[in-house]
Structure 1
């Protein structure tokens, strides 16, 4: 969500019974858009071995395919929301869906891995235009019980998208429709996108009553700074550390400092900044932002490591690998429904306990792989995966609510935008960190492929255990402070 979505109102009253039904008709289209953006976060993992075989992608290039989407998505989320406020949320929805559909087509027909990476970045940019309009349109077109129902449908849809990414994605890759292999996971978005654009007329158009100018220099500084931060980290597993890598990291530091100063300058001059740095200087919010960055850095990296272990290491088909992961996703959806009640009853300690269980679950999973090595039966990991999925549900959504609770009401929109950005940037950073560890283990190993990938999985996932453990410790500290 963005800084103005919480206060905006529809452009005009809805006078007729047919018009009153339009928000619910429009909701189905909004949910479809939410589905495809999350589906594409998850589905790419089951197609990784297919991409490696067909396009000869290296581990670093796989990292760019995954993290490029997340970085582009995260960096422009706030910008996408602000553009919807300025020019109309339905208009930006159509523009974002058109871009997403075209980028999906480019992904599906990409002749080289470099073209695929570029198309994935474009897909992430389009998703950043599209996704904020989904949340903001629901917020301004529904109120009271209708709002709770609509957001409940959205949460259920996003959970189903995560499951479908594993099952449907695995089926599409394995079915090899029209001899397209893994390309079908992108091409399926094309008819969906065309349908959503045609039906977008059922989404009521809304604008924000406040029309702040967009800070394009700020957008450029933060986008380039984060790109220079991530590119050398993702390249490291294949190309190692060169002079260019260190220069890029130094450039990233300079640009991010310049972004901070630019935002402060706009605030002091009375202009609305892209990010209010006074918010970032609030200790509890800054600590919460670090928690979000850490815990979301373990999500995509986990899926990436598991896909490489199950498919490339142990030879499972995409559908088999996706099916093994489904119980984890189901546990996530089920616990997501009860987590708010548990947190309402027990408070922050419930989230801290979830983080502790998450770290222990990851540790048990790693121990299973490490002990069994080449003799591992991947299906034996299902109990640990179920625990991990349930624990994630106890952390992720409740953590967002906890962190946003640290923000004053007048800054709620800004805080939501920052936290949404940290989710995606954290996911991209996690892929980079795990890729370095996973790639180093692959390069140093002398075992057969199965044992080598088991060893690399243990090495890569050690980052996730560390991040989850730090998260649990910080949450325990917050729980003590709130007593």
Structure 2
């Protein structure tokens, strides 16, 4: 889940602090933003019970963070370019720390949803500065080493979210339960704010203006799209959900026209729509959307299956799921070397592994039903994670390779935004399938059987998306080598 600053020219304000010391502060910030992206999954059942939250509210607790994160990623990067990346790092960390405190003390599910959205907005201000600061402060081998450490840190954050998060919820320290997951951000955030002076300040030489109208239109449009998709099934699709979807279509059309007008007026739009007119890049963004739509939705469905359906405690549930994250990290380290040697067909193989392993996992849960032993899912989970890791990072590099260097910054911002929006969209779609399956189950059926059936229903989307990704990837790789689908 990466993002980069969209401008290549920067001015560096000299600092006596060594860049490597500042890097550790940046890594800490990267860790905590990704940790909070995943950790709620192990706490969802306890949140649901403690706050008497509905299924749609649980979906918004997960997707609200991702939606806010994705919508403001490009804006966050541009604000750092304009006003200084260290300054925006501090502002973002202040917001993240404060919103984490509000999450921890939230008395109702709706307040927790609002706090998660604020946390996502803060992460969107914070996270782009991590990538941009590394990019402008490290060069050559130092840059490769720094980005390698960042990739490893983000991978470890995903693993820690499952195991450490599960242990914290299970331990119920000071009888705080899931609230401890957000309280631990307070000392981390305060330390990062205090240590931010170690990060050399940098900003763009051009000081571009920010398109606030575009920010408003895309934020409202995507919110109007995703909120009814999450709430609609549980509320039996009331009239407001249909009106919201119609409003979303209108706002997104207005966003497209407004962005085109900005480009034609020689202004700097949030998104250069000519990027999406390049067929290879457009197809690549569809692939990114599909792949990332299967990530958070999978974590959420699995947490509900093992914790609510099988009544396994959060620590054991997180430990069972951890091999999936381990597989992801292993593949992320190995696949780039294989792609260098064998080419893009390695990504197609990775996508095939992902689709097949997802299908086998669904089949395993379907056949076991109420008698499911979650421990027996570990081999399949590892392969699912490996398949996911073997496609996600190489796919981003492949897609970004289709654009010219002068467009690389904006293209990376678009792709990073699509990653988060895809994750939020996946949660919405899975929520529809999962909730529908639960509501149609006979109440006399065992809880484990109900949730096994719901998991299978939800994961059918993931399987279908993974199969579509395989075919689209084959088309994209062939087009690259044959010179088809030219911009």
- For 1:324-339, list aligned pairs within 5 A: 324-339=320-335
* 1:89 and 2:85 aligned: yes
Which residue, 333, 340, 343 being the options, matches 2:336? 340
1:348 Cα deviation (Å)? Answer: 1.9
Distance 2:8 2:34 in 1: 23
Q: Could you tell which deviates more after superposition, 230-239 or 212-221?
A: 230-239
Which residue, 165, 180, 193 being the options, matches 2:176? 180
Which residue, 4, 7, 11 being the options, matches 2:13? 11
Deviation string 1:23-63 (CA, Å, 9 cap, x unpaired) is 11110000000000000011000000110110011110000
TM-score (norm 2): 0.97
Distance 1:259 1:186 in 2: 35
Which residue, 222, 245, 250 being the options, matches 2:218? 222
* 1:36 and 2:32 aligned: yes
Residue aligning to 1:405: 401
SS of 1:207 mapped into structure 2: strand
Distance 1:3 1:34 in 2: 15
The answer as to whether partners of 1:3 and 1:411 remain within 8 angstroms in 2 is no
1:481 Cα deviation (Å)? Answer: 1.8
- For 1:382-461, list aligned pairs within 5 A: 382-446=378-442, 447-461=445-459
Distance 2:452 2:304 in 1: 9
Distance 1:421 1:478 in 2: 21
1:2 Cα deviation (Å)? Answer: 4.6
Residue aligning to 1:268: 264
- For 1:68-87, list aligned pairs within 5 A: 68-87=64-83
The answer as to whether partners of 1:3 and 1:412 remain within 8 angstroms in 2 is no
SS of 1:237 mapped into structure 2: coil
Which residue, 469, 473, 476 being the options, matches 1:475? 473
Distance 1:4 1:477 in 2: 28
Which residue, 114, 137, 142 being the options, matches 2:138? 142
* 1:54 and 2:50 aligned: yes
Deviation string 1:37-92 (CA, Å, 9 cap, x unpaired) is 00001100000011011001111000000000000000000000000000000000
The answer as to whether partners of 1:69 and 1:120 remain within 8 angstroms in 2 is yes
SS of 1:238 mapped into structure 2: coil
Unaligned runs of 5+ in 1: none
- For 1:313-332, list aligned pairs within 5 A: 313-332=309-328
Deviation string 1:436-480 (CA, Å, 9 cap, x unpaired) is 000000000012211000000000010100111100110011122
SS of 2:462 mapped into structure 1: helix
The answer as to whether partners of 1:85 and 1:208 remain within 8 angstroms in 2 is yes
The answer as to whether partners of 1:348 and 1:478 remain within 8 angstroms in 2 is no
Q: Give 4+ residue runs of structure 1 displaced > 4 Å after superposition.
A: none
Distance 1:111 1:476 in 2: 49
1:236 Cα deviation (Å)? Answer: 2.1
1:3 Cα deviation (Å)? Answer: 5.1
The answer as to whether partners of 2:290 and 2:422 remain within 8 angstroms in 1 is yes
SS of 1:273 mapped into structure 2: coil
Distance 1:218 1:153 in 2: 34
Aligned positions, number: 477
1:294 Cα deviation (Å)? Answer: 0.3
Distance 1:71 1:189 in 2: 21
Deviation string 1:137-187 (CA, Å, 9 cap, x unpaired) is 000000011000100000000000000000110010001011001111111
SS of 1:133 mapped into structure 2: helix
1:330 Cα deviation (Å)? Answer: 1.1
SS of 1:204 mapped into structure 2: coil
Unaligned runs of 5+ in 2: 482-487
TM-score (norm 1): 0.98
Residue aligning to 1:465: 463
